[in-house]
Amino acid sequence: MKALVIHGKQDLRSQEWETPQPRQGEVRVRIAWGGICGSDLHYYHDGANGAFVVREPLIPGHELSGTVDLDPSGELAPGTQVTFHPATFGECRPGLEGQPHLWPNGGYLGSASTTPHTQGGMSEYLVMRREMIRLLPEGLPLRRAALAEPLAVALHGINVSGGVEGKRVLVCGAGPIGLLVAAAALAKGASEVTATDLHEGPLERARALGVHHTLRVGEQTPEAESFDVALECSGAPASIDAAIRAVRRAGVIAQIGMMGAGPQPLELALLISKEIQLRGCFRFNDEVDDAIALLASDARFDQVITHELEAEDAVEAFTIAKDAQASGKVLIRLWPRE
């Protein structure tokens, strides 16, 4: 089969790869669409995602949709449309029984955190365990279904925050995840959603989704104590400080954006005096099922997708996806044969 393979920093190749064969309990899926995630960008542009260095050929991709190609059990018919929960969970720890996404020693599609690396799905075929496969409801296009994984991240952040129904919500950062967070907050009944970003392009896309207000970082500042919840999607310390100032006393900040390792300069004195709760968010648990249902019922999420490129143009796709001003979510069409 063909696959997109990262061999190191800015070394992405379309090449032949051994076609995987499913065993009992596994299903082979023909991949239709793959979305470019922030971690994929780091693996390509930097050769590493934080401490996780590309040490061997790595197929990226965990934002995927496709159709069943082969199910040895016969349970799923060829052509059945699906997406995935991309995590394999590790070892349960006391107190984490209901939070398998936090169990240590798990894996994730398209990740160099394990050795050998966990291969992703930017390829013609992907073999997955049956329990990781999610069937798509009738009428949900495969293109939009590729948003299920990042939308699940957004929904998990909203859940960690305690929910947004009837609340004034600040979304810090209007990149692809921020746009999905904003759209999800609107869909989940937030009374008011304000989005911030450094660039005008992302703010234009946020306005198209229906957010109530947008603020250009460096030119406009969120009003102090004017939000119940902040959903921080940039991972920038200055943005977190802005959220600390913007949420009301006893408000909540859900930290969705990943930060670099090591100490971070944050305005914690104000956080303490206002009794703000800063809550970490990591991937998601079972929110992918809610994400699929939301995608099936709300076509506005299509607006998050700004570019679609063929697999042969993957290097261009990764270049575009790095340009925050020009792009929202960038999708790659993976070798359609029909």
One domain, residues 307 and 251? no
One domain, residues 190 and 305? no
Residue 168, domain member (yes or no)? yes
One domain, residues 202 and 120? no
Q: What is the pLDDT along the chain (338 residues), one digit of tens a residue?
A: 999 999 999 999 999 999 999 999 999 999 999 999 999 999 999 999 988 999 999 999 999 999 999 999 999 999 999 999 999 999 999 999 999 999 999 999 999 998 899 999 999 999 999 999 999 999 999 999 999 999 999 999 999 999 999 999 999 999 999 999 999 999 999 999 999 999 999 999 999 999 999 999 999 999 999 999 999 999 999 999 999 999 999 999 999 999 887 899 999 999 999 999 999 999 999 999 999 999 999 999 999 999 999 999 999 999 999 999 999 999 999 986 55
Residue among 55, 294, 310 nearest 152 (CA): 294
One domain, residues 117 and 214? no
Residue among 57, 2, 58, 7 nearest 30 (CA): 2
The pLDDT score that the predictor gives to residue 137 is 98
Residue 285, domain member (yes or no)? no
One domain, residues 187 and 251? yes
b/e for 82-102, b at 16 or more Cβ within 10 A? Answer: bbbbbbbbeeeeeeeeeebbb
One domain, residues 310 and 252? no
Residue 171, domain member (yes or no)? yes
One domain, residues 129 and 160? no
One domain, residues 178 and 100? no
Indicate the pTM of the whole model: 0.96
One domain, residues 11 and 129? yes
One domain, residues 162 and 108? no
One domain, residues 29 and 101? yes
Residue 246, domain member (yes or no)? yes
Q: Which domain holds residue 63?
A: 2-135+298-333
Residue 272, domain member (yes or no)? yes
Rounded Cα distance, 179 and 287, in Å: 17
Residue among 217, 213, 205, 216 nearest 180 (CA): 205
b/e for 246-267, b at 16 or more Cβ within 10 A? Answer: bbeeebbbbbbbbbeeeeeeee
For residue 141, with 0-12 CB atoms within 10 Å meaning exposed, 13-18 middle and 19 or more buried, which class applies? Answer: middle
- Total of domains in the chain: 2
Rounded Cα distance, 60 and 305, in Å: 19
Q: Which residue, chain included where needed, has tokens 């930290």?
A: 255
Q: Looking at residue 68, which CATH number applies to its domain?
A: 3.90.180.10
**H helices then E strands: how many in the chain?**
9, 19
pLDDT, tens only, 273-316: 999 999 999 999 999 999 999 999 999 999 999 999 999 999 99
One domain, residues 250 and 302? no
The pLDDT score that the predictor gives to residue 337 is 54
Residue 141, domain member (yes or no)? no
Q: Looking at residue 176, which CATH number applies to its domain?
A: 3.40.50.720
Rounded Cα distance, 114 and 106, in Å: 9
Residue 147, domain member (yes or no)? no
Residue 289, domain member (yes or no)? no
